[in-house]
Every structure is written in structure tokens, then in C-alpha cells.
Amino acid sequence: GENVEQHPSTLSVQEGDSAVIKCTYSDSASNYFPWYKQELGKRPQLIIDIRSNVGEKKDQRIAVTLNKTAKHFSLHITETQPEDSAVYFCAVSAGGGADGLTFGKGTHLIIQP
């Protein structure tokens, strides 16, 4: 089955700096790559997603890049703010149909004031 590796597990950055979280996956047929943000005690919230026919997508301070050849994708957050502190999960769809999402283990992002 699909395997998703996410790094780093914890990331501490100064407020205003950029943060980058990387994920690799194993199934070359995977075609959907969402990122979720989960604050303590709350539900995962979709923050951005990308599909396999696109290499990069941006939404204000958040961007995702996808390299299908290397089977990895990354989340980029610029000008980080205290409210960006949360756990971020990457996910991959297993290749079509009604497959569930396979998640990475998560990255705890800490924004230092």
C-alpha cells in the first residue's frame, strides 16, 4: 500500500520567517495531495491541496510544490505568524476511485515570538 513520510516531526521558526515541510510518497499512481492543519483539540482543516497535473499552487502565504518524478511534495509558509502554530499533516490519495487518504505522521510547527 501507499507509504507517506513527513519531515521534520517538529519545526521551530522565528515569527516572520518561512517554514517548509516535506513529504515523500511511494505510489506513483497517486494523484491528489492535500495539506491539513490541526490545532490542539480541533478538527483537521484543509489549508491547500494540489493535483497531479499541477506543479505548484499558491494561496496568499501558503504554497505547495509537487515533484511527481521524485514523488515528493512540500508545504511552504512565508511570513509566519503566531496563529500558524499547529500540527500540519500531508496526505496522499492512493491512486483513484474511492480510496481513503494516507496521511504523514504530522509536523508540529512552533512559531517563536
Partner 1 sequence: KAGVTQTPRYLIKTRGQQVTLSCSPISGHRSVSWYQQTPGQGLQFLFEYFSETQRNKGNFPGRFSGRQFSNSRSEMNVSTLELGDSALYLCASSLDGLAGVDTQYFGPGTRLTVL
**Residues in contact with partner 1 by the rule CB under 8 A:** 1, 31-32, 34, 36, 42-46, 49, 51-52, 89, 91, 93-106
Instruction: Find the shortest distance in angstroms from Cβ 43 to partner 1.
Output: 4
Q: Is the dihedral of CA 45, 106, 87, 82 positive or negative?
A: negative
Instruction: Find the shortest distance in angstroms from Cβ 8 to partner 1.
Output: 15
Instruction: Find the shortest distance in angstroms from Cβ 14 to partner 1.
Output: 27
Q: In terms of CB distance, is 18 or 54 closer to partner 1?
A: 54
Q: In terms of CB distance, is 100 or 113 closer to partner 1?
A: 100
Instruction: Find the shortest distance in angstroms from Cβ 106 to partner 1.
Output: 6
Q: In terms of CB distance, is 37 or 65 closer to partner 1?
A: 37
What is the enclosing helix (H) or strand (E) of 46?
A: strand 45-51
- In this structure, what C-alpha cell is assigned to residue 68? 511527481
Q: Can you tell me the distance from the alpha carbon of 37 to that of 111, in angstroms, rounded to the nearest whole number? A: 14
Q: In terms of Cα–Cα distance, which of 1, 15, 4 is closest to 77? A: 15
Residues written for the chain? 113
